[in-house]
Structures are given as C-alpha cells and as structure tokens.
A and B are shown apart, each in its own frame.
Chain A
Amino acid sequence: MTSTLTISNLTKTFDSFTALDAVSLSVAPGARVALLGHNGAGKSTMMKIILGLIPYDSGEVTVCGAQPGSAQARAQVAYLPENAAFHPALTGLEQIGHYLSLRGENPRLAMELLERVGLHGAARRRIGTYSKGMRQRVGLAQALIGKPRLLVLDEPTSGLDPVSRRDFYALLDGLAAEGASILLSSHALTEVEARTDRILILSGGRMVASGSLADLRQGAALPVALHVTARNGYASDIAAALPGAIRVDGELRLTCAQEDKLPLLARITGFGDKVADIEVLPPSLEDIYSHFSRRDGQ
C-alpha cells in the first residue's frame, strides 16, 4: 500500500535559522505516528509544511498523492491546531456546521460530530463561553469531518483532563482502524507511549530518532538501575561483593548495561537470604527522550 504521507530530505530555513534539516519520513495508511521534540524543534513547522500553509526550501513532500496545500490534498487532510481558536460569537453547532459546508458535507451532521466528542450539551452555547478543553473538543470535532485520510494534530491533548485524554485516544484508535493515518505532536513521551505505533523525535530541526518504543529503548542503550535491599546486618557483605554499588538509606544502588542485567541479577540472587528485595528500574521514557533530544545541540 502506498504511503499517505511521504517526506524526503525536507529542508526549511527562516532567514539564517534552519528549522528543518533534511528530514525524511513516511506514514502508512492506518499508522499512528507521534512527533516529539522540545519547543522550537521544528514540529509545528513540519506540520505547517505538510498542510501547505508555508513553503519549503528543498526536498519532496507528497500528501495523499498530491502536493501539500493543493485542493486534492486539502480535501483529504484534517488539521487540529495547537490552541484551537474559533469565532467567539458563534455556537459550537454553527461553527461545525460551517466547517461541514466548507468540506461539502451536510451541515446537519454537526450535532452528531459534537456528540462524538462529548460536547452536545454545550452545542448551542457560544464558543466564547467555552473552556480551553471544550474548544479543543470543537477542534477535534472539525478534524473528524468527512473521513480524512490524514489527520495532523498539533498537541491535541493539551488542555484535556485525563479522562478526556483517554476518550480522545480511543477515538484516534477507531480512526486508525478505519485506515486514517495520524500524525500527532506532543511534548511528553509518557503520554504517547501506548497510543502510537511509531515515535519520531526531532531536535534542532533534525530527525534524531525514529521507531517503536522498543527500538528507541534499544537505540538509546541506557543503563538499567538496580536497587538492592539487604537483610539486617548483611548490607556491608553485599556491598563488598558488588563493586560500584552506592549505599543510600540502607539500600544499595547500582547500574549496569542492558546486556549485563541478567548475569548481575543471577549474582545477586546467589546471595540467597542476605537479600530482602531487588528492584529493577529500566530507563524511564523521560530518560530515553532526553537522551535523544539532547544528543544534538547541547
């Protein structure tokens, strides 16, 4: 199957600042891809190029088989901007009805869409009275119009509470199952961990990592931490047997490379009754993320 979105060697500079530097990626139908990066890493710039809102300097971008921003591409791509904004004088129902008309759909479908995002209770109230989370839902409702083939979502869960966030990802799963490709940006790796098929990390305009969470974990090769609690009185014995261990509050802390983990565990269990407890801490998602994010520039 052909990709919904293909980008190769995309470069974009603003004056002398390089916002994107030879970025390549492709998104298959039904794939959920998360785009991560610090502020100014180039996430929003890349999204705006995909949407055809701003031009790019070099490289190739193909969206649904067409040029980004062409009528053919725009008809099949939905966008949820960061901090979705709407005219405050319109009601949610009117605003969604308007967007439906612009996509050539029946504006009467507006209520149905608002129900899908849980906003039907406030549909007839003006958007000016909505909270940030409610505006975000209006934004999500408009992104669902007309079965788009590609959804570009810029920090879609900012302003949503944990329950709404779960509902939101459930909705995305449904869309992906129907074949829509999803490209969403986020600041937090913890949030997108279980919800996306692939993670891309941008740093300083360069693509520094790409793959599933397991791939990233392997690529980062960060050390595993072990916390060993000794039975009363045996702490010194064990510390002597494990060079490199540090004593913190009666606990022994040590780190080892991923491949040394099992031999080390075998040694520790070999101490038998002297050990009360072992805790194995794999590198956290935040550790992995900072590892990739920091590799360039800092």
Chain B
Amino acid sequence: MMTRILATAGTEFRIALRNRWVAIAVVLMALFSLVLSAAGSAPTGDLGVDRLSVTVASLTSLAVYLVPLVALLMSFDAIAGEVERGTLPLLLTYPVGRVEILLGKLLAHLAVLTLAVAVGYGLAALAAFWADGDALSGLPALLRLTWTSILLGATFLGAGYALSSLARRPSGAAGLAMGLWLGAVVLYDLGLLAAVVADNGGWFTTSVFPFALLANPADAFRLFNLAASEATAAAAGVAGAANSIPLWQSAASVLLWPLLALALATAAFRKVSP
C-alpha cells in the first residue's frame, strides 16, 4: 500500500513541478509574506512584544486567505482532470485503492504547500530577525503557525478533491472551488459578523457564535493561532472571541478537519464511475 501511495505522490509531485504549480505556490507565498513584513515594519515598539510575534499575527491573517486558495487551486483538477483526460478508467483497473490514489495526491500537494509555506514564513522570519534581535522568542508561534497552515491546507486540499469528484469537469470543479473559498473564507466571517452585530450580545453571540467559529476550519485556524500566541493584542477582530473559546477546542477543530475533508473526498471519489 505504501509503495503505491508513494509512487502516486512522486508522480503527482513531478506533474506539479512541470505544471509550474510548485513555482507559483512558492512565489505567491514568498511575495505576500515579504510584502506583509515590509508593511508591518512600521510602529510596533509600544506593544511590548517581539517583532516575530507581530509578524506571525499578520501572517495568520494572510494564511487564512492564501493557504486555502493555493490548496483549492492545486486540488480542483485532481479527479476532474483525470476524467477529462480519460486517464481515470485505466488507473482504476490497476490494483490500487481509491483512497490510495487520493492519499498519494494529497501527499504530493501537501509537499508543495509545505515548501511554499516554509519559504514564505522563513523569509518573513528572516526579515523579523534582521530588524529585531529579540525576535527569537516568537519562534514557537511561527512553528505553530507553520504546522497549522499545513493542516489548514490539507483540509482544503481534501475539500478540493471532493468538489473535483462531484463536478467531474475541471471547469465545474474550478467554479465550485472558488465558491467554497469565497463562502468559507470570506462570506462566512461577514455573515457571522452581521449576525453578531444584529444579535447585540444575545443568545446567538454567547451560544452559537463560538461553535460557528469552530465549525469553520479557517476560523478555527485563526482562533488557535491568535489564542495560543502572545501577540493576541496585536491582532484585531476575532481576538475577543478567541479568548472566550478554550484552546483545546480550536486545536481539535484544526486537527479534525483534515481527516473529515479526506473522508468527504473519499466518499465523493467512490461515487465517480468512469
């Protein structure tokens, strides 16, 4: 089983390399991280935290948008592309399970994402070290951001595979993927915000809102990183909410979502008949 997963992962990584996905993801993450650290380098002195922690807080806000986007861009074609090229029937006659195919693709795409995240965050960290000698104390926050970013990526990769299986056509899958990104990452928060404002501290804000945040992998990711980080004060927005939800809950959401997404992807892929 392992050889088949690794063989699939190796081939998929090679394809990602040839399709320039590796270059695109790395350059995208590097560029945004650098812009962010340049923009955030102005007034931070009076916050009483080190430079890297501040960078991590801004990187969290960046990653919440960019990591799901990159993950969906890489994954929407995974199954629909095979169907369109006509390579799926032959692949499915091989003694390889559908879960193994998905895991192989996931491993390859996750490697690309890890590379992009490592380069992007690494550059931002170097910039922080260069500007502030005490930045080393923010290193745990950066590591936490890195592994949660990878898990967030895994969640959206899995979601992308599920959509790719459901759509069966790359164009349809791309539309669904962008819809998911817009819905889960952008509109979800806006909707919650509107509801909280309308509710004015009532039942919704106290009972539903925390669960609504935990139910969304992107929000859970942001909550976890901000709550765990000492730089909570440096970030606005959900900071208040972050304090009211125990850390283990957001951590559980961050850890469970990738598994749930993979299960969804597997279920959807099993329904694809070549």
Instruction: Tell me if A295 counts as interface (CB < 8 A to partner B).
Output: no
Q: B19 contacts the other chain (Cβ, under 8 Å)?
A: yes
Q: In the complex the two chains form, what is the Cα distance from A103 to B93 in whole Å?
A: 11
| Docked CA distance A84–B85 (Å) | 10
Interface residues on B, range: 20 to 34
**A74 — which chain B residues lie within 8 A by C-beta?**
93-95
Report the Cα distance A102→B10, complex, angstroms: 12
In the complex, what residues of A have CB within 8 A of residue B7's CB? 98, 101-102, 107
| B240 on interface, CB distance cutoff 8 Å | no
Q: Does B273 count as interface, using CB distance less than 8 angstroms?
A: yes
**B14 on interface, CB distance cutoff 8 Å:** yes
Q: Which residues on A sit within 8 Å (CB–CB) of B14?
A: 89-90, 94
**Closest CB of chain B to A180's CB: distance in Å?**
16
State which of A52, A53, A89, A102 has its C-beta within 8 Å of the C-beta of B4.
A102
With A71-B95, A75-B95, A98-B7 as given contacts, are A87 and B90 in contact (CB-CB < 8 Å)?
Answer: no
Looking across the interface, which residue of chain A has its beta carbon closest to that of B15? A89
For B85, what are the chain A residues with a Cβ–Cβ distance below 8 Å? 85-87
Residue of A at shortest CB range from B11?
A: A98
B-contact 0/1 string along A105-128, CB 8 Å cutoff = 001000000000000000000000
- The interface size bin for chain A is 20 to 34
Q: Confirm or deny: A48 has a beta carbon within 8 angstroms of a beta carbon on chain B.
A: yes
Q: Is the CB of A54 within 8 A of B273?
A: yes
Q: Report Cα–Cα, A28/B273, bound state, in Å.
A: 29
Does residue B44 face the partner (Cβ distance < 8 Å to A)?
A: no
Q: Is B87 interfacial (CB 8 A cutoff)?
A: yes
When chains A and B are docked, how far (Å) is the Cα of A84 from the Cα of B88? 11
A79 within 8 A of B: yes
Q: Is A172 an interface residue (CB 8 A)?
A: no
Q: Which residue of A lies closest to B274 (CB)?
A: A53
Closest to B90 in A: A81
Closest residue on chain B to residue A53 by CB atoms: B274
Complex contact A103–B18 (CB within 8 A)? no
B residues within 8 A CB of A84?
Answer: 90
Q: Across the A-B interface, how many residue pairs have beta carbons closer than 8 Å?
A: 69
With an 8 A cutoff between CB atoms, is B133 at the interface? no
Contact A102/B96 with A89-B15, A90-B15 known, Cβ cut-off 8 Å: yes
B197 part of interface (Cβ distance < 8 Å): no
Min distance, Cβ A179 to any Cβ of chain B, angstroms:
20
A134 at the interface (CB under 8 A from B): no
Q: Which of A53, A79, A85, A107 contacts B87 (CB 8 A)?
A: A85
B residues less than 8 Å from A52 (CB atoms): 93
Residues of B within 8 A of A99 (CB): 94
Q: Does B47 sit at the interface, judged by CB under 8 A?
A: no
Indicate with 1 or 0, residue by residue over B247-274, a CB within 8 angstroms of chain A CB atoms: 0000000000000000000000000011
0 or 1 for each of B91-135: is its CB under 8 Å from A? (1 = yes): 011111000000000000000000000000000000000000000
Could you say which residues of chain A place their CB within 8 Å of the CB of B87? 85-87
Assembled-state Cα–Cα distance A139/B87 (Å):
11
Q: How far is the CA of A149 from the CA of B253 in the complex (A)?
A: 48
Residues of B within 8 A of A86 (CB): 85, 87
B19 contacts across to A, CB distance below 8 A: 89
B86 part of interface (Cβ distance < 8 Å)? yes
- From 1 to 50 in chain B, residues with beta carbon under 8 angstroms from any chain A beta carbon are 3-4, 6-8, 10-11, 14-15, 18-19
Q: Kindly list chain A residues whose C-beta atoms are within 8 Å of the C-beta of B274.
A: 48, 53-54
Q: Could you say which residues of chain A place their CB within 8 Å of the CB of B96?
A: 102
Is the Cβ of A53 less than 8 Å from the Cβ of B93? Answer: yes
Contact A85 B15 (CB under 8 A): no
Which residues 14-58 of A have a CB within 8 angstroms of B? 48, 51-54
Q: Is B89 part of the binding interface, using a Cβ–Cβ cutoff of 8 Å?
A: yes
Which residue of chain A lies nearest to B86 when distances are taken between CB atoms in the complex? A85
Q: Is A83 an interface residue (CB 8 A)?
A: yes
Checking A81, A89, A90 against B86 with a beta-carbon cut-off of 8 angstroms, the contacting residue is A81
Q: How far is the CA of A103 from the CA of B7 in the complex (A)?
A: 10
Cα(A71)–Cα(B95), bound, Å: 6
Query: Are A79 and B90 CB-contacts (below 8 A) given A53-B273, A87-B85, A102-B95?
Result: yes
A71: min CB distance to chain B, Å:
6
- Measured in the bound complex, the distance between the Cα atoms of B147 and A18 in whole Å is 54
- Residue of B whose beta carbon sits closest to that of A44: B89
List 10 A-B residue pairs with CB atoms under 8 Å apart, sorted by A's residue number: A48-B89, A54-B274, A79-B90, A81-B86, A83-B86, A85-B85, A90-B15, A90-B18, A101-B6, A103-B94
User: What residues make up the interface of B, taking CB atoms closer than 8 Å to A?
Assistant: 3-4, 6-8, 10-11, 14-15, 18-19, 85-87, 89-90, 92-96, 273-274
Given A78-B93, A87-B15, A98-B8, 20 more contacts at CB 8 Å?
A: A52-B93, A54-B273, A54-B274, A71-B95, A74-B94, A75-B95, A79-B89, A81-B90, A83-B86, A84-B90, A85-B85, A85-B87, A89-B14, A89-B19, A98-B7, A98-B11, A99-B94, A101-B6, A104-B95, A142-B90
Which 4 pairs of residues, A with B, have the shortest CB-CB distance? A101-B7, A85-B86, A89-B18, A79-B93
